[in-house]
């Protein structure tokens, strides 16, 4: 599943090319996504309007258009949003296409159909049910050790599960939580009640730096991810523990292990994570 860095990479790649372009037509090829595409609303709020800017909230890509509307896209498990030549043939699982002025179209392809695409007035975005419960963004100054420590107060669960709680901080998904914990030498099963103030700050810094490093390397392509031009990311080459079970830890040489937490695979080094 594309996580925050992949969505940010996608935003950056499209932000260089979409603002100022007019959406000439909205084509709903197949409405069957996690929530059915609403042809009427999409065409009413988007068609004939120019794209003003691209933003991101958590793992949602936000495309603001003139007139105060926003197209919201979530890639789900296998979604790809790419800018292509208009005369390229329609492909299987092409659910949504924005025909742009000139000779291009922006298409959403999602074979597994867990993605989302909907439009709404921009002013209502933060109150929408998809956004109202979300925690802070991890790349800004809001994320620090004091914030994490305050959010963990009264809890007893494992730190990895806590870091992945989108109601606390958004976008620290499975890959990046494992990598951040390795960077600060913290075992993914350690209770949040056993983490001190200094370690909380190190965790905040590690979460931010891990995500920032992934963005700089174009995201992590394990299966389906690509940016708006169809280019794969390369952060998977830099992964220290995620998916590396059975291999040597790049820091201490011990064999990396895999465990299951909350139905998700966690990877850690038993030699240097405690």
* Residue ranges per structural domain of the chain: 4-127, 145-268
Instruction: Judge whether 210 and 139 are in contact, CB under 8 Å.
Output: no
Q: Is 213 exposed, middle or buried (0-12, 13-18, 19+ CB in 10 A)?
A: middle
- CATH T-level assignment (fold) for domain 4-127: N-terminal domain of MutM-like DNA repair proteins (3.20.190)
**Angle between the 197-216 and 4-15 helix axes, to the nearest 10 degrees?**
40
Q: What is the pLDDT of residues 147-158, one digit of tens each?
A: 999 999 999 999
Q: Is 257 exposed, middle or buried (0-12, 13-18, 19+ CB in 10 A)?
A: middle
Q: What is the pLDDT of residues 198-243, one digit of tens each?
A: 999 999 999 999 999 988 887 654 444 455 455 554 344 468 999 9
Please state which architecture CATH assigns to domain 145-268: Orthogonal Bundle (1.10)
pTM of the full structure: 0.90
Q: What pLDDT shows up at residue 82?
A: 93
Q: What are phi and psi of 30, to 5 degrees?
A: -145, 120
Q: What are phi and psi of 23, to 5 degrees?
A: -85, 105
Annotated catalytic residues are 2-3, 59, 264
Q: What is the pLDDT of residues 14-51, one digit of tens each?
A: 999 999 999 999 999 999 999 999 999 999 999 999 99
Contacts of 274 (CB under 8 A, 6+ apart): 185, 186, 187, 190
């Amino acid at each position: 599943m594309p996580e925050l860095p992949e969505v940010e990479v996608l935003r950056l790649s499209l932000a260089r090319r979409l603002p100022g372009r007019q959406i000439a037509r909205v084509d709903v090829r197949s409405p069957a996504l996690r929530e059915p595409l609403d042809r009427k609303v999409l065409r009413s709020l988007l068609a004939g309007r120019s794209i003003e800017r691209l933003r991101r909230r958590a793992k949602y890509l936000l495309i603001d258009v003139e007139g105060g509307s926003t197209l919201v896209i979530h890639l789900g498990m296998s979604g790809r949003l790419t800018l292509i030549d208009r005369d390229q043939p329609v492909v299987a699982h092409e659910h949504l296409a924005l025909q742009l002025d000139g000779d291009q179209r922006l298409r959403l392809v999602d074979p597994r159909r867990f993605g989302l695409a909907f439009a709404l007035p921009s002013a209502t975005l933060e109150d929408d049910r998809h956004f109202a419960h979300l925690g802070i963004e991890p790349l800004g100054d809001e994320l620090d050790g004091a914030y994490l420590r305050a959010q963990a107060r009264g809890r007893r669960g494992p730190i990895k599960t806590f870091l992945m709680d989108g109601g606390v901080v958004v976008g620290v998904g499975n890959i990046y939580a494992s990598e951040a914990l390795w960077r600060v030498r913290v075992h993914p099963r350690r209770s949040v009640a056993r983490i001190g103030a200094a370690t909380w700050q190190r965790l905040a810094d590690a979460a931010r730096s891990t995500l920032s490093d992934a963005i700089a390397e174009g995201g992590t392509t394990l299966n389906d991810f690509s940016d708006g031009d169809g280019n794969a990311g390369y952060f998977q080459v830099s992964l220290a523990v995620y998916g590396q079970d059975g291999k040597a830890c790049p820091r201490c040489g011990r064999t990396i292990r895999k465990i299951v937490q909350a139905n998700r695979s966690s990877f850690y080094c038993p030699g240097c994570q405690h």
